[in-house]
Amino acid sequence: MRIVIDADDAGLQLKHDLVDHLETLGVEVIDLNYLGKTPDASYPEIGYNLAVRIKDQEYDRGILICGTGLGMAMIANKVETVYAGPCHDVYSAERLRKSNNAQVITMGARVVGVELAKTIVDAWLEAEFQGGSSKPKVETMHNLENQSFHPETEL
């Protein structure tokens, strides 16, 4: 599994802590370090950059961190075929994958501590989409997304 991570200025320390944690577990994680290349960037550019890489299938899953996790989720969801959600507890992280098949998890460095963030990420990475009664809902989400990104053109 190819994991990618990035954060805005509010989430830098938590990002570094999670990279260290994942590497300790033997997980290959790539830090995009968008701020290192573009110091004036804010969460919209950082989140968009990661989400496009998920869409292009350069990576399987992504982790985005900002102050609350909300802004990063909003921008990542603007990229077609990318599904992201903020998680600040283990159950939500599991459901994000198992029920919603989301490839991107977002977290708020001002909302969760380091140890909880590690547990959340671990649960999300271990979870897989279950299908079942969630499958038609995810398919409906895809169809509605397609309508939004590709509205019918009247001639």
pLDDT tens-digit readout, 52-100: 999 999 999 999 999 999 999 999 999 999 999 999 999 999 999 999 9
Positive/negative CA dihedral, 43, 12, 6, 87:
negative
Question: In this predicted structure, what is the pLDDT of residue 148?
Answer: 86
- pTM of the predicted model, to two decimals? 0.93
Domains of the chain: residue spans and CATH: 3-149 (3.40.1400.10)
71: Cα separation from own chain's centroid: 11
Min mean pLDDT across 40-49, 50-59, 76-85, 146-155 is at 146-155
Q: Would you name the residues annotated as active-site residues?
A: 66
Which helix or strand (DSSP H or E) is residue 29 part of?
A: strand 29-31
Question: In this predicted structure, what is the pLDDT of residue 9?
Answer: 97
Question: In this predicted structure, what is the pLDDT of residue 130?
Answer: 83
Asked whether the predicted pLDDT for residue 155 surpasses 50, the reply is no
